[in-house]
Homo-oligomer: A and B are copies of this chain.
Amino acid sequence: MAAPRRRPRADARRNYERLLAEADAAFREQGTDASLEGIARRAGVAIGTLYGHFPNRRALVGALLRERNEALFEHGRHLLAGADPVRALTDWVHAVVEHAAAYQGLAALLAGGLDDQESELHASCVTMNEISDELIAAVRSAGALRQDVTGADVFTLMNAAAWTRERMPAEHADRLLRLAMDGMLEPGAVSG
Contact = CB atoms under 8 A, between A and B. Distances in A.
A45 interface: no
Interface stretch (A52-60, A61-69, A170-178): A170-178
A104 to B, nearest CB: 10
Given A161-B160, A164-B111, A172 B152 contact: yes
A45 to B, nearest CB: 28
A182 B149 CA distance: 12
A163 B176 CA distance: 14
A179 interface: yes
What number of copies of this chain does the assembly contain? 2
B182 A181 contact: no
Contacts of A163: 160, 163
Interface string A26-38: 0000000000000
Interface residues of A, number: 31
B172 A164 contact: no
B176 A180 contact: yes
Nearest to A178: B183
A37 B123 CA distance: 38
Interface of A: 108, 111-112, 114-115, 146-147, 149, 152-153, 156-157, 159-161, 163-164, 167-169, 172-173, 175-176, 178-184
Closest 8 CB pairs of A and B: A182-B183, A183-B183, A160-B160, A179-B183, A156-B172, A179-B180, A111-B167, A180-B180
